[in-house]
Structure 1
Amino acid sequence: MEPDDRSLNIFIKDDDKLTFHRHPVAQSTDCIRGKVGYTRGLHVWKIHWPSRQRPEEAFTLPDSLLVILDMDEGTLSFMVDGQYLGVAFRGLKGKKLYPVVSAVWGHCEITMKYINGLDRE
């Protein structure tokens, strides 16, 4: 995560540089951006966001999920508990994308870890 590319209400934990903490500020949304932008290849991140730090929705996610970015196909997909959920976004080819995490809950802590990548060239 990039400490210079973050909202003011977010700080990166000193003991874990892959985890951010959000200060409790009402009626605001905060985010942080990863250091590297991607234009090609296949890339996977693990997002750990404890369910107790999120609102309940119709589809309950476990504490961790995988984000799969395929810049050669121009798609973004998700995987939960080993189950591929399919493509969520298309039309990303030819762009430069950075991983970003956004949160609204105070005191939430979210970890974004780059798992691996594969450059097809």
Structure 2
Amino acid sequence: MGVMVSVWLYSRKADSPQSSPPFSAFRPLAVPTSSRLTVTLNSSPVSPGDGRSRWSSVHRSPHFLLSACKQKVTRSPVELSSDGVRSEMGVKHGLHIWEVLWNPYQRGSHAVIGISRLECPLQAAGYNVLVGGDAQSWGWELKTNQLWHGGHNLGLYPGKMKQCYPEVSEKLEPQSYKSVDAESPLPIPEHVLLVLDADAGTLGFVVDGSFLGIAFTDLPCGVELFPAVSSVRGGATIRLRYLNGASRDPPALMALCGLSIRQFLGQQRQTQTDKLPLPPFLQNYLLSSH
């Protein structure tokens, strides 16, 4: 049967439609991912009602207003204040992926996303970086692309590389292209994925479908870590969604095979697995795991 599938895939390769994703400045900066992370990124997201998708009603600045579902916070229009919030539930082990939705027009300065321990302060006078502003948190400042930990600027993320990316209009739509150095801040879109490997003690980010590599290493192992954000912008609305996770065990062979087949089929034919010479059980697995 494996030979049949291989022959079918090879015979269809020539006429497989090639997707043409929109230009992204982050794609050339992407780094290879482990099989564990690749499978997790390509797995179906858990239910939106998962407890790890909620902001904490306790661990937040009083200037952050929480929605009824706890998946959205909005900062009040308060001047000379830096305000933070972290998730309701943290993790101690495993690989975990969260999605943060934050409109670029609602960020202003000192817009930071990252990971914190329970001891990270969540409110301070003036305009400061909170997530990453002490030894209990690690943050990525979205406007400047700078990494912060222990109150220190650790440099730019992603790393240095000359790029050609579109100039961005007020609607964040590509208009024209120019050559720049990655030392110039790259505009971060609304959707950002946090990739926390609590077993390895690392934190990275995915932007435009590209994993930009490890931003922080040596995070404390066996300690509860929480997604966190901090902002100084009045009216900023930030959403949190837990997508998926995995144990430290390597991915199952079936999951790796399913991922390989779906990648070969391409985005436009993900739902055509019923045409493969496979038993219905395997066809259903490919569909359900997409």
**TM-score over 0.5 for the alignment?**
yes
Q: How does 1:11-90 map to 2 (within 5 A)?
A: 11-14=65-68, 16-55=69-108, 57=144, 58-90=185-217
Q: Does 1:115 align with 2:243?
A: yes
For residues 120 and 69 of structure 1, what CA distance do their matches in structure 2 show? 12
Structure holding more strand per residue: 1
Gap regions ≥5 residues in structure 1 = none
When Rg is computed on C-alpha atoms for both structures, the one with the higher figure is 2
Kept after mapping to 1: 8 A contact 2:101/2:191:
yes
Compute the displacement of 1:93 (Å).
Answer: 4.0
Gap regions ≥5 residues in structure 2 = 1-54, 109-142, 145-184, 250-290
1:22-75 CA deviation, whole Å, 9 max, x = no partner?
Answer: 001111111111122211100000000001112354221011110000011110
What's the secondary structure of 1:92's corresponding residue? Answer: coil
Q: Does 1:100 align with 2:228?
A: yes
Structure holding more helix per residue: 2
Taking every aligned residue pair, what percent have the same amino acid on both sides?
38
For residues 245 and 229 of structure 2, what CA distance do their matches in structure 1 show? 19
Which amino acid in 2 is paired with 1:112?
L
Compute the displacement of 1:114 (Å).
Answer: 0.8
The total of aligned residue pairs comes to: 120
Kept after mapping to 2: 8 A contact 1:75/1:93:
no
Compute the displacement of 1:112 (Å).
Answer: 1.1
For residues 58 and 220 of structure 2, what CA distance do their matches in structure 1 show? 27
Over the aligned positions, Cα root-mean-square deviation in angstroms equals 1.4
